[in-house]
A = this chain, B = another copy of it.
Amino acid sequence: MIGRLNHVAIAVKDIAAAARVYRETFGADVTAAQAQPDHGVTTVFINLPNTKIELLEPLGADSPIQGFLDKNPSGGIHHVCYEVDDILAARDRLVAAGARVLGSGEPRIGAHGKPVLFLHPKDFCGTLVELEQA
C-alpha cells in the first residue's frame, strides 16, 4: 500500500539558520522559505536526489508544531510522509485494521496541494506518519 517516502519533516526553531546548515554545511539544494499560514508553518525544502527533507518553523499562535518544539527545543524529526495511490482506500484499510486517523478522519489539502492524512503515532511505532495522495 505505501509507496515512496515523499519527505521527512524536521521541526526547527529558526528556519533561516537550519536552511543555512543544509545549504552551506551540507552543500544541499535548498529552496527559499515559504510562509504557509493555512498550515501554521513556514517551510523550506531540501531536494535530495531521491526524496525531500522538509524544514518546518512554527508560524502564528496556533502552529501545530509548537508543542513539539516546546518539548524538543533544539528541533527534531517531526514526521515521515509516505505516498499512497488512493488516500481514501488507504484510510479505509487502516481504519479496518484498527489504526487511528488524526482529526476528522477526512483528508485535507496539505502543504503540497494534495490530500493528506495524519496517523496516530501510538499505532505506528511512536512515529507520526503523514499519508499523501501520490
* Residues of chain A having any CB pair with chain B under 8 Å: 1-5, 8, 10, 12, 18, 21, 24-28, 48-51, 53, 55, 72-77, 80, 82, 93-94, 97, 99, 121-127
Contact = CB atoms under 8 A, between A and B. Distances in A.
Contacts of A75: 125-127
5 contacts: A5-B5, A5-B50, A10-B126, A24-B97, A77-B80
Total copies of the chain:
2
A118 B17 CA distance: 21
A28 B77 CA distance: 22
Contacts of A4: 48-51
Contact of A12 (B27, B74, B122, B126): B126
CB-based closest 9 A-B pairs: A75-B126, A1-B27, A74-B126, A77-B77, A76-B126, A75-B125, A50-B50, A4-B50, A2-B26
Nearest to A48: B5
A54 to B, nearest CB: 12
Interface centre among A18, A26, A124 (most CB of B within 10 A): A26
Given A1-B27, A3-B48, A75-B126, 17 more contacts: A1-B26, A1-B28, A2-B27, A2-B48, A4-B48, A4-B50, A5-B8, A10-B125, A18-B125, A21-B123, A24-B97, A25-B97, A50-B50, A50-B51, A55-B125, A72-B126, A75-B125
